[in-house]
Amino acid sequence: MKFFVDTADVSEIRDLAATGLVDGVTTNPSLIAKSGRRILDVIAEICDIVDGPISAEVAATDFDTMLREGQKLAKIADNVTVKVPLTPDGLKTCRALSDAGTKVNVTLCFSAGQAILAAKAGASFISPFIGRLDDISSNGMGLIADIVQIYRNYDNFKTEVLVASIRSPSDVTEAAKLGAHVSTLPPSVLRQLFQHPLTDKGLQAFLKDWEATGQSILDQ
Ligand code: E4P
């Protein structure tokens, strides 16, 4: 499973990329707004930090403007993936950009039927929002299971399932068990994945016992 981080905070991205575990980045208009920066500057900086796909979302809702915005965002760097909403105009834009060789991430997916449309429109990624479904007492992980199963049935569907709106480490492991290709993680969830109290406890015991030996590996 690939790990993307879901933030436009460049210092967070730099910090997490240093772990060697970050395969890409997703942003959206809300995250860009939170950064307080110009989208073109932020995306360019992120593309310099992480080699993998960097999702930059269009802000228009009509085909002509979405296409022009997408083309402009794609010019920022080779690793930009243009993100479009799952609407008729968004999928038309997806087809046009994909045909021109630009990767597209179709966002705001909340049903398996929408995911089929995105695959048919040539999306490189489909982003089902599991947390927002769970928030309305629906079943986010059930949607991931359905999309993974459907995509596996068709060799001509090349779209990767990018699990979005993740809220916890268990969302990541459940999505991995289902075979989803990518999880996009809020930085806090990526940090939480490292943690286990028995790891901390075990390490403290090893360090204490080691200190008692008086040894140094580097001095031997
Ligand atoms: C990622 O591409 C999405 O924009 C993001 O995961 C949405 O997450 P949220 O529901 O926590 O805002």
For ligand 1, the distance from its centroid to the CA atom of residue 185, given in whole angstroms, is 9
Q: Please indicate whether residue 165, judged by its CB atom, sits closer than 6 Å to ligand 1.
A: yes
Spatial separation of the C-alpha atoms in residues 17 and 201, rounded to whole Å: 27
Give the pLDDT band (50/70/90) at residue 50. Answer: very high
Domains of the chain: 2-189 (3.20.20.70)
What is the amino acid identity at position 37? R
Q: Where are the beta strands (DSSP E) in 70-146?
A: 80-85, 104-109, 125-128
Give the pLDDT band (50/70/90) at residue 83. Answer: very high
Q: Please indicate whether residue 129, judged by its CB atom, sits closer than 6 Å to ligand 1.
A: yes
For ligand 1, the distance from its centroid to the CA atom of residue 165, given in whole angstroms, is 4
Closest by alpha carbon to 77, among 106, 54, 105? 54
Cα 15 to the chain's mean position, in Å?
17
Q: Please indicate whether residue 93, judged by its CB atom, sits closer than 6 Å to ligand 1.
A: no
Q: What is the CA radius of gyration of the chain?
A: 20
Query: pLDDT tens digits for 184-218?
Result: 999 999 999 999 999 999 999 999 999 999 999 99
| Catalytic residue IDs | 83
Cα 78 to the chain's mean position, in Å?
17
- The pLDDT of 86-112, averaged and rounded, is 98
For ligand 1, the distance from its centroid to the CA atom of residue 218, given in whole angstroms, is 45
For residue 70 the two structure tokens come to: 């997408």
Atom of ligand 1 nearest to the CA of 26: 2
Query: pLDDT tens digits for 103-156?
Result: 999 999 999 999 999 999 999 999 999 999 999 999 999 999 999 999 999 999
Q: Residue 47 has what pLDDT?
A: 98
Query: pLDDT tens digits for 12-48?
Result: 999 999 999 999 999 999 999 999 999 999 999 999 9
Q: Residue 139 has what pLDDT?
A: 97
For ligand 1, the distance from its centroid to the CA atom of residue 25, given in whole angstroms, is 12
Q: Residue 3 has what pLDDT?
A: 98
Spatial separation of the C-alpha atoms in residues 121 and 131, rounded to whole Å: 25
Q: Whose CA is nearest to atom 4 of ligand 1?
A: 28
Q: Residue 29 has what pLDDT?
A: 98
